């Protein structure tokens, strides 16, 4: 399964940028996102995280460290890991449980790329992470699941192409079906 995921590990160095404050985590959820810039694949997102170009205002109820960071970025060809799964990222809901308890996966939607390859790769990676961390399928959630305090609307339409009218519906259930399909292959 991991061979098909084609995972590269390219961590943001510990103690810098999005990892300048290391906050331990026992992951209980996996949060699925989609990038909405339409220009960059996984390698470019990895570079951006290492260069610190993905900044976010640090405010009372906003981003806690001034940088965005998440655990994995997936595109049509590979997955890249940016930080260990036992550290908290900044990708979901500021100081809420989405950041404190979940592994964040960003799916690239760059133009010209195969969305279905990216989605299948993400489903495989999610299944492996469920297995490794003892996370049940019901705790695989879209970014939408985590309300963001102070934002309107609080629930983000993310990953947008797996939401129906901005919220989880048939497309999201279809994705969970693919995750479960791969998860069951790991059991045998
Ligand atoms: Zn998101």
For each of the chain's 188 residues, which pLDDT tens digit applies? 999 999 999 999 999 999 998 999 999 999 999 998 888 999 999 999 999 988 877 766 678 888 999 999 999 999 999 999 999 999 999 999 999 999 999 999 988 889 999 999 999 999 999 999 999 999 999 999 999 988 889 999 999 999 999 999 999 999 999 999 999 999 75
Ligand 1 center to 188 CA (angstroms): 32
Ligand 1 center to 89 CA (angstroms): 12
Report the number of distinct structural domains present in the chain. 1
Q: How far does Cα 172 stand from its chain's mean position? A: 15
Ligand 1 center to 108 CA (angstroms): 11
Ligand 1 center to 91 CA (angstroms): 7
Q: How far does Cα 100 stand from its chain's mean position? A: 13
Ligand 1 center to 36 CA (angstroms): 9
Ligand 1 center to 143 CA (angstroms): 5
* Per-residue confidence (pLDDT) for residue 64, from 0 to 100: 84
Ligand 1 center to 32 CA (angstroms): 7
* Per-residue confidence (pLDDT) for residue 62, from 0 to 100: 76
**In the chain, what is the straight-line distance between the N-terminal and C-terminal CA atoms, in Å?**
12
In angstroms, the CA 56 to CA 62 distance is 8
Ligand 1 center to 33 CA (angstroms): 4
Ligand 1 center to 160 CA (angstroms): 8
Q: Are 31 and 98 in contact (CB under 8 A)?
A: yes
Ligand 1 center to 157 CA (angstroms): 8
> Mapped to the 3 state alphabet, what secondary structure does the chain carry?
CHHHHCEEECCCCCCCHHHCCCCECCCCEEEEEECCCCCCCHHHHHHHHHHCCCECCECCCCECCCECECCEEECCCCEEECCCCCECCECCCCCCHHHHHEEEEEECCCCCCCHHHHHHHHHHHHHHHHHHHCCCHHHEEEHHHCCCCCCCCCCCCCCHHHEECCEECHHHHHHHHHHHHHHHHHHC
* Per-residue confidence (pLDDT) for residue 61, from 0 to 100: 67
Ligand 1 center to 131 CA (angstroms): 23
In angstroms, the CA 11 to CA 40 distance is 18
In angstroms, the CA 77 to CA 4 distance is 9
Structural domain harbouring 121: 2-187
pTM: 0.96
Ligand 1 center to 122 CA (angstroms): 14
């Amino acid at each position: 399964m991991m061979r098909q995921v084609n995972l590269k590990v390219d961590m943001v160095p510990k103690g810098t940028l999005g990892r300048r404050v290391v906050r331990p985590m026992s992951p209980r959820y996996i949060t699925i996102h989609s990038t909405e810039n339409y220009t960059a694949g996984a390698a470019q997102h990895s570079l951006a995280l290492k260069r610190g170009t993905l900044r976010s205002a640090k405010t009372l109820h906003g981003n806690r460290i001034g940088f965005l960071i998440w655990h994995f970025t997936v595109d049509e060809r590979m997955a890249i890991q940016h930080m260990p799964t036992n550290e908290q990222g900044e990708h979901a809901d500021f100081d809420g449980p989405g950041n404190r308890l979940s592994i964040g996966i960003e799916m690239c939607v760059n133009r010209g790329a195969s969305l279905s390859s990216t989605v299948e790769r993400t489903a495989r990676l999610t299944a492996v992470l469920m297995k490794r961390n003892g996370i049940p399928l019901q705790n695989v959630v879209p970014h939408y699941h985590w309300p963001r305090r102070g934002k309107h609307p609080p629930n983000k339409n993310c990953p947008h192409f797996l939401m129906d009218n901005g919220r989880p519906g048939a497309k999201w259930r279809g994705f969970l079906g693919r995750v479960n399909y791969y998860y069951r292959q790991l059991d045998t």
